A and B are shown apart, each in its own frame.
Chain A
Amino acid sequence: MLNDALLLAAKDLRVERRSRVLTGQVLPFGLIVLILFGFGISPDRRVVEAPDRTVLEQVAPGLFWLAVLLSALLALGRSFAIEAVDGNLDALKLTGLDPAGVFLGKALAIWLELLAIELLLGVGSLALYGATITHPLLLLVTVLAATTSIAAAGTLYAALASGLRVRDTLVPLLVLPVLAPVLLGATLATEAALFGPAGDGWPWAGLISTFAVLYLGAGMVSFGVLLEET
Chain B
Amino acid sequence: MKTGRCSVSLQVMSDLPVVALDGAVSLISGFPALAGADLVVEQGEIVLLEGPNGAGKSTLLRLCAGLAPLHDGAGTVLDCDLSSRPARRRVRRQVGLLAHASALYDDLTVEQNLRFWAAANRVDEPAIEPAMQRLGLAERLRDVPVSGLSAGQRRRTAMAVIVCRRPRLWLLDEPHAGLDRSGRDLIDDLVLAAIDAGASVMLSSHEVERASGLLDRSSGPSRAVTVVGGQVRC
Tell me which residues across on chain A come within 8 A of B90, comparing CB atoms.
Answer: 96
Pick from A11, A19, A90: contact of B116, CB below 8 A: A11
Cβ proximity bits A80-91 to B, threshold 8 Å, 1 near / 0 not: 001001111011
Pick from A82, A90, A95: contact of B120, CB below 8 A: A95
Tell me which residues across on chain A come within 8 A of B89, comparing CB atoms.
Answer: 96
Q: Is the CB of B107 within 8 A of A91?
A: no
Tell me which residues across on chain A come within 8 A of B65, comparing CB atoms.
Answer: 94
Q: Is the CB of A88 within 8 A of B119?
A: no
Q: Is the CB of B108 within 8 A of A14?
A: yes
Pick from A14, A93, A95, A96: contact of B117, CB below 8 A: A95
Interface centre among B90, B95, B120 (most CB of A within 10 A): B120
B90 to A, closest residue via Cβ: A96
A95 to B95, CA, bound (A): 10
Tell me which residues across on chain B come within 8 A of A97, comparing CB atoms.
Answer: 120
Name A75-126 residues within 8 Å CB distance of B. 82, 85-88, 90-97
The reply on B60 being an interface residue by CB < 8 A is no
Q: Is the CB of A87 within 8 A of B99?
A: yes
Cβ proximity bits B66-109 to A, threshold 8 Å, 1 near / 0 not: 11000000000000000001000110110101011111111110
Q: Is the CB of B101 within 8 A of A95?
A: no
Pick from A18, A93, A94, A95: contact of B108, CB below 8 A: A18
Q: Is the CB of A94 within 8 A of B116?
A: no
B95 to A, closest residue via Cβ: A94
Interface range for A: 20 to 34
Tell me which residues across on chain B come within 8 A of A95, comparing CB atoms.
Answer: 92-93, 117, 120-121
Query: A14-B112, A93-B92, A95-B93 in contact; A87/B103 too (CB < 8 A)?
Result: yes
Q: How many A-B residue pairs have CB under 8 A?
A: 66
Cβ proximity bits A155-166 to B, threshold 8 Å, 1 near / 0 not: 000000000000
The reply on A174 being an interface residue by CB < 8 A is no
The reply on A32 being an interface residue by CB < 8 A is no
The reply on B145 being an interface residue by CB < 8 A is yes
Q: Is the CB of B103 within 8 A of A90?
A: yes
Pick from B97, B103, B108, B120: contact of A7, CB below 8 A: B120
Nearest CB in chain A: distance from B198 CB, A? 20
Q: Is the CB of A86 within 8 A of B92?
A: no
Query: A90-B67, A93-B67, A94-B67 in contact; A11/B93 too (CB < 8 A)?
Result: no
The reply on A44 being an interface residue by CB < 8 A is no
Nearest CB in chain B: distance from A43 CB, A? 41
Pick from B66, B102, B119: contact of A86, CB below 8 A: B102
The reply on A228 being an interface residue by CB < 8 A is yes
A92 to B97, CA, bound (A): 12
Tell me which residues across on chain B come within 8 A of A14, comparing CB atoms.
Answer: 108, 112
The reply on A221 being an interface residue by CB < 8 A is no
Cβ proximity bits A1-38 to B, threshold 8 Å, 1 near / 0 not: 00010010001001100110000000000000000000
A115 to B104, CA, bound (A): 28
A87 to B155, CA, bound (A): 13
A86 to B105, CA, bound (A): 8
Query: A14-B112, A15-B105, A87-B99 in contact; A94/B119 too (CB < 8 A)?
Result: no
Q: Is the CB of A91 within 8 A of B117?
A: yes
Nearest CB in chain B: distance from A36 CB, A? 30
Nearest CB in chain A: distance from B77 CB, A? 13
A15 to B65, CA, bound (A): 27
Tell me which residues across on chain A come within 8 A of B100, comparing CB atoms.
Answer: 87
Q: Is the CB of B105 within 8 A of A82?
A: yes
Q: Is the CB of B97 within 8 A of A94?
A: yes
A4 to B, closest residue via Cβ: B120
Tell me which residues across on chain A come within 8 A of B161, comparing CB atoms.
Answer: 91
A-B contact pairs, 13 of them (CB 8 A): A14-B108, A15-B105, A82-B105, A82-B107, A86-B102, A86-B104, A87-B99, A87-B102, A90-B99, A92-B120, A93-B92, A94-B65, A228-B85
Counting from the closest, the 6 A-B pairs by CB-CB distance are A87-B101, A91-B103, A96-B93, A95-B120, A87-B103, A19-B107
Known contacts A15-B108, A18-B107, A92-B120; can you find 8 more A-B pairs with CB under 8 A?
A86-B101, A90-B67, A90-B97, A94-B65, A94-B92, A94-B93, A95-B92, A95-B120
